[in-house]
Structure 1
Amino acid sequence: MAVSRIKALREGLRSMGYADADRMEILDRSSQGDPSRLAGLAADLVKRRVNVIVPVSPAGVRTAKAATTTIPIVANDLESDPVAAGFVASLARPGGNITGVFSDFPDFGTKWLEILKEALPNLSSVVVLRDPATSPMQLDAVSAAARVLKVKLGVIDVSAISELKHAFEVAAERKPDAVIVLASPLFGTEPKLIAELALARRLPTVTLFSEIARAGGLLSYGPDLLETFRQLGTMVGKVLNGQRPADLPVERPTKFEMVVNQQTARALGLTLPNAVLLRADEVIE
């Protein structure tokens, strides 16, 4: 997990009265984009009898749920409907040992294509990079938006970091107007690599991850991930203070951000409309 996200988590803990949050032990575990490692990581955390588990993907939530029914789980899952996925009984009263920050996906899929269409008025074809281990909800949402906006979609599956370079090579061969990088822990761990691969092949990108836009991608739109981790820290603090996940309502992201990289736009020979720049929360010059 990025250092900035752990820092935000600690800020949330401090807001709940944990003045020593900086000294609290946070065991940062990563599958490095390999879902097969999750079960072992979860089993180790259960064995260590940690106070709370904070999974940050649908696969992570499923794995933690299978690993324990007693340790509280405060999840960050921006891809799933937690009720439909079977994680909680209801948003208001989760009913088990899981709560957290969840967000289903349709609005993001529509927004990404709308932003691309506004930034690139002649947009007619888009390649989508997808991690097949993630929820199908993302691709379903983007596909529905593409039908409405009359944009042709092509999909390239990426199951490992080692496949990213080839995926961008295949995408470039298809000559799309832009690339959408769907949300996945796999992609979130490599913002600089993704931005470099896209820029080297002159492919405008839009994604959920602001880190990719800041690293050289063209656009991002989605929840402010640092604010989301502050929310998680607050919820973890409530659990540590004695509240049960069963009674702690599921929360939604409270802050969204749009990042535009003007430096990348110029490198790609693009002139972005003023309307796009004015809507951005952050413009990188």
Structure 2
Amino acid sequence: MTERPSAAVAVDRRDFIRLAGTTAAGWLALGATPDRIRIVASLTGLPLDDELTRRNFSDNMNSRLGGLIGGLRQRGWVEGVNIRFEIRSTFGGPAKLQAAIQEIIDLKPDVILTGSTVETAAVMATTRTIPIVFATANDPVGNGFVESLAHPGGNVTGFTNSSAEMGGKWLQLVREVVPDLARVGVLFNPVTTPRAGRFFLDSIEQEAAASGVSVVPAPVNAAAEIDAAIGRFSEAPRAAMIALVDSFLVINRQAVVAATAKYRVPMIYPFHYFIDAGGLMSYGPTLEVRSADYVDLILRGTKAGDLPVQSPRKYELLINRTVAGALGLKLPFTLLARADEIRE
């Protein structure tokens, strides 16, 4: 028996209805005659009260859920008429992850959207028949999600958000900010980052070997370990850090940024979320909400495995010049000229 959604989830359901923008009665008056209500389920690794979760519920078409709902509405899918959205948070550890997934499975959804590699793997372990669309994944082939990017096969497809070579690019950028760099710390949680960190570490180490920089992995397994892990790089020899693509770090982005300010350690991040929290710089894919295309096709009968995995079309460099000044860094003009956005 499926339990009723919690109060927090119920509030989010009302937000979904608000985002739909047009009442069911209005669409029925226009002649909409759905054969049945389709269920689109979404999992998020963030708490439902996290700022990023709330932002995703905005009616901005660039927000993940706002873009999905708006995109589906443009294609004729309307909340309360022929579609129903359900969202669950997997935040809170393995037991909460499994409970949230089981609750979603019990709803018998027509498609499930996942927001991280961990969630996608956990859902795939539960179902090989319900279509799954991952919003972000770094190594879908290596993780066994798909047979190939062009021909996924099975019941899964989605969007990648970076390649393994990004590791070397992050090091190149941080060396421009810290030209006398002797060592670089690499922050990640082995449980929640691709291939326990190795997906990016290989290219970081290759770039470091060519530039004479020492690479020091800094794995963390709990939020309480973040401060000490970053504090290690405040002493000589000159150091900077790279934060890997990692849902754990996104959830704990405030603690990460606070520790870099406390110990005056320059760090480059993979997403703008960290810059929004007061980080120094980020380089990563521009957010493009394209999941509505695939969800629409799946709801109309296309198999998820027949839809190719799509890669980012553009990357962006963001720099916070005020944070750089607080860290005593002099940003080269050549770097600032390449930035897509400079914040003060």
TM-score of the aligned structures, taking structure 1 as reference length: 0.89
Partner of 2:71: 15
Offset at residue 158 of structure 1 (A): 0.9
Partner of 2:33: none
Structure 2 CA distance for partners of 1:155 and 1:96, relative to 1, 3 Å: same
Residue range with higher mean Cα deviation, 6-15 or 154-163: 6-15
Structure with bigger RCO (C-alpha 8 Å, 6+ apart): 1
Equivalent residues of 1:13, 1:236 under 8 A apart? no
Residue range with higher mean Cα deviation, 257-266 or 169-178: 169-178
Partner of 2:310: 251
Equivalent residues of 1:35, 1:59 under 8 A apart? no
Partner of 1:113: 171
Equivalent residues of 1:9, 1:233 under 8 A apart? no
Partner of 1:216: 278
Equivalent residues of 2:275, 2:281 under 8 A apart? yes
Instruction: Say what the alpha-carbon RMSD is for the aligned residues.
Output: 2.2
Structure 2 residue 293 is the aligned partner of structure 1 residue 234: yes
Structure 2 residue 96 is the aligned partner of structure 1 residue 30: no
**Secondary structure of the corresponding residue to residue 27 of structure 1:** strand
Structure 2 residue 158 is the aligned partner of structure 1 residue 100: yes
Q: Which of 204, 211, 219 is residue 157 of structure 1 equivalent to?
A: 219
CA offsets, 1:202-231, max 9 Å, x none?
01110102111232211100112x32xx12
Opposite residue 153 of structure 1, the aligned amino acid is V
CA offsets, 1:5-58, max 9 Å, x none?
4533332443343466677524031334x3564333222211222232222222
Give the whole-Å Cα distance in 1 for the aligned partners of 2:210 and 2:98. Answer: 40
1:1-285 → structure 2 map (5 Å cutoff): 1=46, 2=52, 3-6=54-57, 7-16=63-72, 17-18=74-75, 24-32=84-92, 34-35=93-94, 37-80=96-139, 82-103=140-161, 105-133=163-191, 134-135=193-194, 136-173=198-235, 176-224=238-286, 226-227=287-288, 230-285=289-344
Runs of 5+ in structure 2 lacking a partner? 1-45, 47-51, 58-62
Equivalent residues of 1:131, 1:159 under 8 A apart? yes
Structure 2 CA distance for partners of 1:174 and 1:188, relative to 1, 3 Å: farther
Give the whole-Å Cα distance in 2 for the aligned partners of 1:255 and 1:115. Answer: 17
**Secondary structure of the corresponding residue to residue 153 of structure 1:** strand
Opposite residue 246 of structure 1, the aligned amino acid is G
Opposite residue 234 of structure 2, the aligned amino acid is A
Runs of 5+ in structure 1 lacking a partner? none
Structure 2 CA distance for partners of 1:156 and 1:22, relative to 1, 3 Å: farther
Give the whole-Å Cα distance in 1 for the aligned partners of 2:103 and 2:161. Answer: 28
Residue range with higher mean Cα deviation, 67-76 or 86-95: 86-95
Opposite residue 142 of structure 1, the aligned amino acid is I
Offset at residue 201 of structure 1 (A): 0.9
Offset at residue 174 of structure 1 (A): 6.3
Structure number, greater radius of gyration = 2
Give the whole-Å Cα distance in 2 for the aligned partners of 1:269 and 1:21. Answer: 52
Larger proportion of helix: 1
Residue range with higher mean Cα deviation, 107-116 or 230-239: 230-239
Equivalent residues of 2:240, 2:265 under 8 A apart? yes
CA offsets, 1:155-186, max 9 Å, x none?
11111223222322333356542111111110
CA offsets, 1:78-127, max 9 Å, x none?
321x2233211222221110000025532210110111112222122111
Runs of 4+ in 1 over 4 A off after TM superposition: 18-24, 173-176
TM-score of the aligned structures, taking structure 2 as reference length: 0.75
